[in-house]
Amino acid sequence: YLAKEKSSDEVEWFDWHADIQPNPFVLEQEMVTGLKQRQFFLLYQPQVHLRSKVLLGFEALLRWRHPRWGIISPMVFLEVAEKSGFIIQLGEWMLTQAMREMGKLTAEQGYYLSVNLSMRQFYQQHLPELILHIAQETGFQLSQLTLEVTETMLGHPEQAARQLQDLHQLGVRVSLDDFGTGYSSLSRISHYPLQELKIDRTFVQQIGTEKGDALVKTIINLARHLDLDVVAEGIEKPQQLRFLRRHYCQAGQGFLFAPPLSLDDLKNLIRS
């Protein structure tokens, strides 16, 4: 995986195909060591109000700086972490780190912090207690937190509904990420306590084609009917931005505005 994005402080991404293909067992061992040795870190991608370009918040995105392999995308290691169960530890670290780094900024300036949950993490019984605990430890205001879940994660409808209800009680927002790429029943979605839909990047990329335009319009309308906020991801072109604005998509993120940034770069951006 060679990720296309590069924020200013990042070195080259590791090219898996050019060198070794570590097997899952090796990857797992390296992750365990990596967490102990603080090789993981977070980048934050700005989310903006599309009409005014005002900064609304940011999505925390996980990275791994391996001493020999370089910077590794979550697409490479999350699946292994999920299968082995290591994601539970990694996810707890990520939540703590994000709330610690962003606590002050979000409280003082009203920004939202979005974090991605993995399947196992979402179904962890004590996730609501864990989040509450981390918020208390770090001084993070839970009204500023958005949890991103995907449709595929809602595959166990009863358990999912219960967990979403418990999370909702904490006062956090819940966003349905990569919307349209999974298989979820629309009637079910309308019954979950959700606050936001994210339009997947693959749809945003199709804006400008007849099919793409129709799909994106449909998702925006659906969000409006369900009374959900809508965020478009992967906006790269002015033409995509114009289309989204014209059809009343409120918010978005993408390289057109900013790539995922280090904490320092983000603070500089906010200051300027």
C-alpha pair distances (Å), 222 with each of 60, 132, 137, 164: 26, 31, 38, 20
74 binds, among Mg ion, ligand C2E, none (CB under 5 to 8 A by kind): ligand C2E
Binding mask 229-268 toward ligand C2E (x if CB under 6 A, else -) reads ----xxxx----------------xxx----x--------
Q: Please name every residue paired with 42 in a beta bridge, in sequence order, or none if there are none.
A: 62
Residue 124 Cβ, how far from ligand C2E at the closest point, in Å?
Answer: 12
47 scored as a contact of ligand C2E (CB under 6 A): no
Closest to Mg ion by CB, 80 vs 147, is 147
Tokens linked to 115? 């974090």
Closest to ligand C2E by CB, 220 vs 232, is 232
Q: Please name every residue paired with 48 in a beta bridge, in sequence order, or none if there are none.
A: 55, 252
Binder of ligand C2E out of 39, 47, 116, 146 (CB under 6 A):
116
57 scored as a contact of ligand C2E (CB under 6 A): no
255 binds, among Mg ion, ligand C2E, none (CB under 5 to 8 A by kind): ligand C2E
Residue 23 Cβ, how far from Mg ion at the closest point, in Å?
Answer: 26
CA distance 250 to 248: 6
- Please identify, among the stretches 131-139, 151-159, 228-236, 241-249, the one whose residues bind ligand C2E according to the rule CB under 6 A: 228-236
Tokens linked to 29? 């061992």
Tokens linked to 23? 């097997």
215 scored as a contact of ligand C2E (CB under 6 A): no
Closest to Mg ion by CB, 28 vs 177, is 177
Binder of ligand C2E out of 65, 133, 168, 201 (CB under 6 A):
201
78 scored as a contact of ligand C2E (CB under 6 A): yes
- Judged by the rule CB under 5 A, the positions of this chain that interact with Mg ion are 116, 148, 177-178, 198, 233
118 binds, among Mg ion, ligand C2E, none (CB under 5 to 8 A by kind): ligand C2E
